[in-house]
Amino acid sequence: QTGFAMLCAGSIRSKNVKNVLLWNLLDSCGGAVGFWTVGYAFAYGGDDPSLGKTFIGNKNFFLMDDEGDLQLWFFQFAFACAVSSIVAGTIAERCRMSAYLFYSTFLAGFVYPVVAHSFWSVNGFLANGSLTDNPLCGSGVIDLAGSGPVHMTGGVTAL
């Protein structure tokens, strides 16, 4: 978060630096609410291969189902916030604070989790080795450390 905040602050006029630093703080706050309520459940809830391909997960809303998921939640929350922070630099000086807070909460709570589920879940429709009829010539997505879901989602939503 700090690195993205400094990158954004260095690319705008000095009169708006405080605003963009606050935006990056709001990424963490709004992202935490969005990812805690529904985002984590959409991305990682319900990896049951017997269900077949699913668009989103359907378990562990508000982290109610399993206490052991807190470490994984925090790790994935950092990715969800990074997606929102990527966008902060593109809309600096062009957006109202309230609109950005809504946007970062929605991005961390719904958009990123859907993409993460499709790539990383056993039930994701693009997951590697999960389909015989995969849309990607039978191979699925082979992702290295989140480069696809994190940077692709951040870049596409920034456009």
CA 77 to chain CA mean position, Å = 8
Q: Which residues of 92-115 are buried (b: 16+ CB within 10 A; e: fewer)?
A: beeeeeeebbebbbbbbbbbbbbb
Report DSSP letters for 47-105, one per residue. --GGG---SS--S-GGG-S-GGGHHHHHHHHHHHHHHHHHHHTTSTTSS-HHHHHHHHH
At residue 111, the pLDDT reads: 96
Give dist(CA 92, CA 18) in Å, integer.
11
Give dist(CA 135, CA 1) in Å, integer.
34
Give dist(CA 75, CA 87) in Å, integer.
20
- For residue 114 the two structure tokens come to 């859907």
Phi, psi of 82 (to 5 degrees): -65, -35
Neighbour count for residue 49 (Cβ, 10 Å): 8
pLDDT per residue as tens, the chain (159 positions)? 888 899 989 999 999 999 999 989 988 999 999 999 999 999 988 777 677 777 888 888 998 877 667 888 999 999 999 999 888 888 888 889 999 999 999 999 999 999 999 888 878 888 776 555 555 566 777 787 788 899 999 999 998
Q: What is the pTM (predicted TM-score) of this model? A: 0.87
Q: 12: helix, coil or strand? A: coil
